[in-house]
Amino acid sequence: MSDNKLFIGIDTSNYTTSVSLCDNNGIIVANIKKLLDVEHGQRGLRQSDALFLHNKNMPEIMSELRSVLENGYQDRKICAVGYSAYPRDCEGSYMPCFLAGQAVAVSIATAVGCPVYKFSHQAGHVAAALYSCGAEDEISTSSKDGRFAAFHVSGGTTEILLVDNTDGKMTVEQIGGTQDINAGQAIDRAGVMMGMKFPCGREMESLCRDGVSFCKTVKTCVNGLSCNLSGLENQAAKLYAKNNDKREVCEYVFDFVGATLLKMTNNLREQYEDIPVLYAGGVMSNGRIKGILSSNKNVYFAQPEFSSDNAAGIAILCKKKYEK
């Protein structure tokens, strides 16, 4: 492959506008993103508002991308553009916010005269996590049949995925996950309840103590590869009303989520012995939760920059599809 090729990835999830640039060696050379603004006291965005805010963010994002291209990549050719078209790789998966990314991706591809490819937001998360964990070859060689498991844990999803990446085309099958709300939702609801600005994960983590063993008395609700997380919201509210201690509530919330994911991982290993496990999604950028899960062997984590919503995985998948 010529050294002058570039591939653009675009992702417009419910809370982040992001564009990434991948070179012909599969290296992410730009990972640009901007959070959507959520009013204080609110616990999320309506799809119509998210779509509007993505359209508002895009000129600034594309201006940053142009600066990157003009500073070191003037001689490169944009060979393909990829975008997140839907949340998951399943029938009927749809969210209007991804229309913003589609419009920009198709416009760029039309102007440049290159192919445009669509992927799921979920596949992009897994691809970005696989790229950033620095162990893609290790994961492939340690797997018995080339497959690995991925936990996609965010405000929009909490799922266990069986991933096949053996033929150069990533296929994803859901095999478990939450039966009610998502882990990111539970975390944000607890944070908003304590007066924090949405999304609350980073502020909540800043209040937690380093090196403190997680609370082993949390009572999770896990059945096989499924879990329920809605009860955490009530438990956090009761704990806060009792002690009015934000740090205690934050640690408890993260410990609950971590213990839930740990139990689901252990149950997964009973069905798929020694399968490599990759943790992806915005919640997995949390250091306390990561510490709980690190007690298991053959587990891998995305770097924080590539764990929260980003378009890096879409750019990587775009390159691979172009090459095929």
Strand ranges (DSSP E) for 179-266?
A: 222-223, 226-227
Q: pLDDT, tens digit, for every residue of 296-317?
A: 999 999 998 998 899 999 999 9
> For residues 159 and 261, what is the distance between their CA atoms, to the nearest angstrom?
10
**In sequence order, which residues have a C-beta less than 8 Å from that of residue 169 and are 6 or more positions away?**
320, 321, 324
Q: pLDDT, tens digit, for every residue of 152-181?
A: 999 989 999 999 887 667 889 999 999 999
> For residues 297 and 291, what is the distance between their CA atoms, to the nearest angstrom?
12
State the average pLDDT over residues 205-212: 87
217 pLDDT band, cuts 50/70/90, is confident
- Phi and psi of 191, rounded to 5°? -65, -45
**In sequence order, which residues have a C-beta less than 8 Å from that of residue 143 and are 6 or more positions away?**
275, 276
As a whole number, the mean pLDDT across the chain is 93
Q: Tokens for 156, please give them.
A: 């929009």
Q: Tokens for 231, please give them.
A: 């009860």
State the average pLDDT over residues 8-13: 97
Q: What is the pLDDT of residue 2?
A: 61
Q: Tokens for 55, please give them.
A: 């359209």
Q: pLDDT, tens digit, for every residue of 117-134?
A: 999 999 999 999 999 998
Q: pLDDT, tens digit, for every residue of 13-43?
A: 989 999 999 999 999 999 999 999 998 888 8
Query: What's the pTM?
Result: 0.88
Q: What is the pLDDT of residue 36?
A: 95
State the average pLDDT over residues 189-210: 95
> For residues 140 and 126, what is the distance between their CA atoms, to the nearest angstrom?
14
Q: Tokens for 87, please give them.
A: 């949340």
In percent, how much of the chain has pLDDT > 90? 79
Bridge partners (DSSP) of residue 27 are none
CA 18, 22, 28, 29 dihedral sign is negative
